[in-house]
Structure formats: structure tokens, C-alpha cells
Amino acid sequence: MTDSSHQRTVYGEFQRACTRWGDRPFLRSTSSAMAVYGDCAVEYTYASAQRTVERLRASYHELGVRPGDRVALAFDSRLDVYLHLLALNAQGASLVPLNMGSTDSELRHIILHSKSRWTSGAPEHSERLQKLVKTEPRIRYFELRTPNAPDPIEPGYGDENTEAALLYTSGTTGSPKGCILSNDYFVTMGEEYNRLGGLCSVGFEDRLLTPLPPNHMNALATSFMAMLLCGGCVIQADRFHPRTWWQTVREERATIIHYLGVMPAILLKLPESQDDDFSGQVRFGFGAGSDPKHQGLFERRFGFPLIEAWAMTETGGAGIVVANHEPRHVGQRCIGRPPSHVAFRIVDKNEQDVAPNQPGELLVRRRGEEPRKGFFSGYFRDAEATRDGWRGGWWHTGDIVRQGPDGSLFFVDRRKNVIRRSGENISAVEVEAALLQLESVENCAVTSAPDEIRGDEVFAFVVPVDETRVSAHDARDLFDQTLRTLTYYKAPGYIVFVERLPLTSSQKINRGEIKQMANRALLADTPFDLRQFKTRGAS
């Protein structure tokens, strides 16, 4: 019988953690999160999680799940996602997490494209899932029964190269791609997080609160594996609730917070309170994309640093860059200096290295003889896209960065989000940041629109705080306010007010849909046209 506790797998690391920290808290759902599902708050210690995982594992064994199989599961942000990941990993099988906020066509694409053999989920999703696979005889919907006293099963299927999860990217353009994530990917992610040190030192007393969904690599791989490897506790929220967020942070005694880029901006808009200082409790926030104008304000008001980081599903911990050491260049979109195991280049559109402090696309790989170790194993059923991403032996990230004199990297934008207007490169993220700091703006998304004279024009979709303020006068007012912080040519040439923005499964702006919305709006002649006001004397 194989001792799986010596294997470099998710389940093997879990067994080691249970041996060391059995009575310590491991997984917890906030009370507000479980109220959404009609349940009570749930907490597992490492030992109680182990008992549940073994029962689930026995049920999967009885169901017929074998090494190499894939199971598509829909548990939203419940802790079940992590427990089923562990149980499937013990069987050498792979988890395909589903986001039930997706459309039927998106879900069906993932279930069929992934070649999952089974699908299941929370009770409220049962009917929908069964309908999705009704005409597919090779896919079976099941309701898992967990025996109270499972028979012993041969432990330890799989190794570090075995697929642990098939995670579909956000699909901001085109259909989502399935990223094959191995055991090595998951373990590397946890190891690199635990090695960060500096402002991001972690230990077994840490309690990491995340509002990000477990169908996203940040929660499923980063938060989960970071705490699993150090004996800490993952606290899973169902989503970000601004008005009760700080109450949740206090009640859950969170010491680490993972954040989405828009969270600091929203929290800064809340009324100030004498209880705003969390310096004695929260040691750091970890995330990406916070508005540079808000980073310093947030840190001073709430008493802990926002650690900006860079990674993508494809790179995992093998290509991560984190601003966990000073100088962090607060308010400048600094993502830190690449760690010693990450080799990188910054190149122009011809893939030639750019001059110092000039923007270019970030290329990464691992140093040494195994440049892809710890990265994703490739796009499932898309070898061509995998080869293209790795062309020349470097992973092409599609992100534009520049390197400062001290070696720090500064994020500029996604290459696809750069608007080229009259020869000037404009970052959509920079324009969004300017809009988000305005009190009348709840949320926004910026994209390019075709312009016969200038090539591209800046197009902004704005979700207003006051739904009644959507007139031409209000659009002009927003335009004028952006000129306080933006050069005239960066200001929105078009503005459309909307009730909500389309989001991907990982709660990011769906850039592909935004682009299509802009094209449709232009055809319908619905935007407020502000181009005539974009003159040199305007700013």
C-alpha cells in the first residue's frame, strides 16, 4: 500500500497537514455567506475535514470515479468545493468547477469540452444541471451519498504531474480555454506564497478571508494551498458585501484579506468611523488592480498594506511577481520585483527587448532546466494555443509592464486594453481609475471604439450611483471631472450609462462583451458624444 503522505499532490499535502495541525481550524464559511444558501456557518478543523474527505472519497470510489476522470461540480462558494477537490485528488481524478452564474451555453461548453464523465452540485442547481446533460448519454448526473463508516481504500493515486483541476479562463474574448492544472501547479502555488516573506510572512495562526469564488485560481489554488501548507485557515465569503465587510473582518478575526481591484475604491466611499484602523489585526491585503490613487489613502485609513501582485491562471506560482518588500512605490501600479526563480523579458511588438523604463509585453518562464515547471500544463484540446503562448520558450502574458531603475515592475495594462488614439497609447485601466474616484460613479468599464480620423476613441460605460443622473448634462459633467486627473486625449469620447456591467466567471469585467456592447451602441447611436470637447486647452 502506497503512503500518499509522501507524494507531491494536493491530497498528500493535506494528509501531512492533518498530521501536524489536526485540531486547528482549516476551512470556514462566514455566517453571512451561509445565510445566502439557507445554512448556518460552517467550520472544519483539519481533522474533521479529513473525516469528511474520506467519506466523499469512498463515495466517489463506489460511484466508479477512477484516475484520470473529470467531475464537473457546481457548489458556488461553499466549502464543498475544497473538500471535493481533496476527495477527487485522492482518487487521481480532476475537478472541473462550474460557475452557475454563467449562461446555459457557457456551462454546456465547459461540461462537454472538458469531457467530464459526471456532474453534480448544490441542491438548487440539480434541475438545471440535469437539463444541461439530458441529451448526453456519456455524462451522468449524480447525487453523492457519503457513508458514515467508509471501507479503507488504497491511498495515493497520481503524482505531481497528474491533473488536479481543469480551470476555465474567464473568456473575455471568445470561448473560455481549459487550463490543465497539475498537482505540481497547486503545490508550487502554496510553496511560493509561503516563501514570500517580507510584508507577506504567513504562519499557522493566520486566518485568510477571501470573497473570490473557488472557480477562480486565486481562491482554489492560491488561498487554499497557501493556508494548507502553513496550517492556517481559509475563510470563504460568498462574495464581497461592502456595507458589512468590516464587520465580517472583525467577527472572523481575519489576519489576511484577498481583494479584487475595485474593493478598496468601494470601501473608501463608506463613511469614516473611529473603528477604521485594523493595524492590530489585519497584517496585509493581497490582490491586484487597485486604483493607484486609492492605495495610499486606503493604507493610511485602514492601517494595513495592500500588496499588489501579478500572476495569471497559466503561470500560477511559478511566474508570480509580488510587491511584498519595500520600496513598494505605493500609488504607481508597482507589482514588485520578480523573485529569483522567475526569468523575465519585456519586449515590443516585434519581440525585441525594450529600453529601460519603456513599456512592453511581459514574458516569463522559470529559471533553470525546467522552464515550464509549476506553470499550467497547457490548454486542454488546444495544443496550437499552448504552443503560441510558449513561442520562443517564453510564456507570453499579454500584459504590458515597464521596469523602473530599482528593478521593480510597474503594470501598465493588458495589451488588448490599450487604446491607440492619434498615435497615443491610452490605458483603459487608467481611464477607469479616473472615473472610479468620482463620487457619482459606482462602477465603469472602458474600451476602444473605431474612429475614422484618430483610429481609436475612448468609450466608457458608467454605472452611476444615482440611477436618475443619466442625462447628456451628467455625461458632460463626468467628462469635465476626468480632466482634473487625465490629459485631454485620455478622457472618454463616448459615455453610455448602464445599470450593470457584464462580468466573467471570476467576477472580472468581460472585456469581450464590453467591446461588443460599444459596437452595438455606436450602431444604435445611443452614446453621449463628447469628442468635440477633447481639445488641448480642455485639461
CATH number of the domain enclosing 445: 3.30.300.30
Say yes or no: 341 and 480 in one domain: no
Say yes or no: 429 and 399 in one domain: no
Cα separation, 527 vs 530, whole angstroms = 9
Which DSSP letter does residue 399 get?
A: E
Say yes or no: 323 and 439 in one domain: no
Work out whether strand 424-427 and strand 418-421 pair parallel, antiparallel, or are unpaired.
Answer: antiparallel
- CB neighbours (10 Å) of residue 392? 11
Domain count of the fold of the chain: 2
Q: Is the peptide bond before 327 cis (omega within 30 degrees of 0)?
A: yes
pLDDT at 221: 98
DSSP 106-175: HHHHHHHHTT-SEEEE-GGGHHHHHHHTTT-TT-EE------SSPPP-------TTSEEEEEE---SSSS
pTM for this entry: 0.83
| Residue 55 lies inside a defined structural domain of this protein | yes
| Residue 208 lies inside a defined structural domain of this protein | yes
| Residue 344 lies inside a defined structural domain of this protein | yes
pLDDT tens-digit readout, 293-311: 899 999 999 999 999 999 9
Say yes or no: 193 and 340 in one domain: yes
**Final residue before a domain boundary, out of 351, 376, 403:** 403
Say yes or no: 493 and 523 in one domain: yes
pLDDT at 1: 38
User: 339 is in which domain, residue-wise?
Assistant: 4-403
pLDDT at 539: 58
| Residue 409 lies inside a defined structural domain of this protein | no
Least confident interval from 2-6, 129-133, 362-366, 467-471: 2-6
* Domain containing residue 50: CATH number: 3.40.50.12780
pLDDT tens-digit readout, 33-89: 766 666 667 899 999 999 999 999 999 999 999 999 999 999 999 999 999 999 999
Say yes or no: 271 and 394 in one domain: yes
